[in-house]
Amino acid sequence: MRAMRIEQIGPIGDRPGPLVARDVEVPTPAPGEILIRVTVCGVCHTELDEIEGRTPPPRLPVTPGHQVVGRVHGIGAGATGFAIGDRVGAGWIFSACGTCGYCRSGRENLCDAYQATGRDADGGYAEFMTVPAAFAYPIPEGLADAEAAPLLCAGAVGYRALRLTGLEDGQRLGLTGFGASAHLVLQTAHHLVPRSEVYVFARRAAEREFAMGLGAAWAGAISDVPPHSLDAIIDTTPAWLPVLESLRHLVKGGRLVINAIRKEDGDRADLLALDYAGHLWLEKSIQSVANVTRTDVAEFLEVAARIPLRAEVREYPLEDANRALREIREREIRGAKVLRIGDG
Q: What is the CATH number of the domain that holds 169?
A: 3.40.50.720
pLDDT of residue 79: 98
Q: What is the CATH number of the domain that holds 107?
A: 3.90.180.10
Quote the number of domains for the chain.
Answer: 2
Residue 66 has pLDDT above 90, yes or no: yes
Question: Cβ neighbours of residue 272 under 8 Å, at least 6 residues apart?
Answer: none
Q: Output the pLDDT for position 264.
A: 73
Given 244, 262, 288, the domain boundary residue is 288
* Same domain, residue pair 87 and 184: no
Mean pLDDT of 182-200: 97
pLDDT at residue 268 in the model:
66
Q: Are residues 169 and 283 in the same domain?
A: yes
Look at 2-16, 214-228, 241-255, 261-275 and tell me which has the smallest mean pLDDT.
261-275
Note the pLDDT of residue 14.
74
Domain finish residue from 265, 288, 311: 288
One domain for residues 90 and 46? yes
- Give phi and psi for 290, each to the nearest 5: -120, 110
Q: Please report which confidence band the pLDDT of residue 13 belongs to, taking 50, 70 and 90 as the band edges.
A: confident
Q: What is the mean pLDDT of residues 323-333?
A: 87
DSSP letter at 25? P
> Domain check: are 163 and 106 in the same one?
no
Q: Is the pLDDT of residue 12 over 90?
A: no
Contact present, 157 and 296 (Cβ < 8 Å): yes
Boundary of a domain, candidates 288, 312, 328: 288
The C-alpha atoms of residue 242 and residue 221 are separated, in whole angstroms, by 10
Nearest to 156 by CA among 137, 171, 174, 170: 137
Read off the pLDDT of residues 150-176 as tens digits, 9 standing for 90 and up. Answer: 999 999 999 999 999 999 999 999 999
* Mean pLDDT of all residues in 297-317: 95
Same domain? 205 vs 310: no
| Residue 266 confidence (pLDDT) above 70 | no
- How would you label 254-270 residue by residue, b for 16+ Cβ within 10 Å and e otherwise? bbbbbbbbebeeeeeeb
- Would you state the torsion angle of the CA atoms of residues 169, 174, 179, 183, taken in this order, to the nearest 10 degrees? 20
CA-based nearest residue to 292, from 29, 118, 92:
92
What DSSP string describes 111-133?
-TT-EEBTTTB--SSBSEEEEEG
Provide the whole-model pTM: 0.93
- The predicted-structure confidence for 113-125, as pLDDT tens digits, reads as follows 999 999 999 999 9
Residue type for position 163:
R
Q: How much is the pLDDT for 267?
A: 63
Q: What is the DSSP string of 169-195?
A: TTS-EEEES-SHHHHHHHHHHHHHSTT
Residues 324 and 317: their CA atoms lie apart, in Å, by 10
Query: 58 pLDDT exceeds 70?
Result: yes
> What is the mean predicted confidence (pLDDT) over 67-78?
98
Give the pLDDT of residue 278.
75
Asked if residue 77 and residue 203 are part of one domain, the reply reads no
CB 282 within 8 A of CB 248: no
The DSSP call for residue 277 is: I
Confidence at residue 316, expressed as pLDDT on a 0 to 100 scale: 97
**pLDDT, position 343:** 85
Asked whether residue 49 falls in the same domain as residue 93, the answer is yes
91 with 182, same domain: the answer is: no
Note whether 148 and 297 are same-domain residues: yes
Average of pLDDT values for 79-100? 98
Instruction: Check whether residue 284 and residue 311 sit in a common domain.
Output: no
When pLDDT is averaged across residues 260-264 and rounded to a whole number, the result is 80
The DSSP element (H or E) to which 64 belongs, if any, is none
Say whether both 83 and 30 belong to one domain. Answer: yes
The greatest distance separating any two alpha carbons of the chain, rounded to the nearest whole angstrom, comes to: 60
In this predicted structure, the answer to whether residue 269 has a pLDDT above a threshold of 90 is: no
Question: What's the pLDDT tens digit per position in 279-299?
Answer: 888 999 999 999 999 999 999
- Give CA 139 to chain center in angstroms: 17
Q: Which of 15-19, 68-72, 112-116, 178-182 has the lowest mean pLDDT?
A: 15-19
Q: What integer best gives the mean pLDDT of the chain?
A: 94
Collect contacts of 99-108 with beta carbons under 8 A, ≥24 apart: 106/293, 106/295, 107/293, 108/293, 108/294
The per-residue pLDDT for 284 is 95
Q: Are residues 134 and 236 in the same domain?
A: no
Question: Which pLDDT score is estimated for 276?
Answer: 77
The answer on pLDDT for 87 being more than 90 is yes
pLDDT value at 265 more than 80? no
Task: Please give the residue range of the domain that contains residue 161.
Answer: 156-288
Cα gap 215→203, rounded to integer Å: 18
User: SS3 for 6?
Assistant: strand
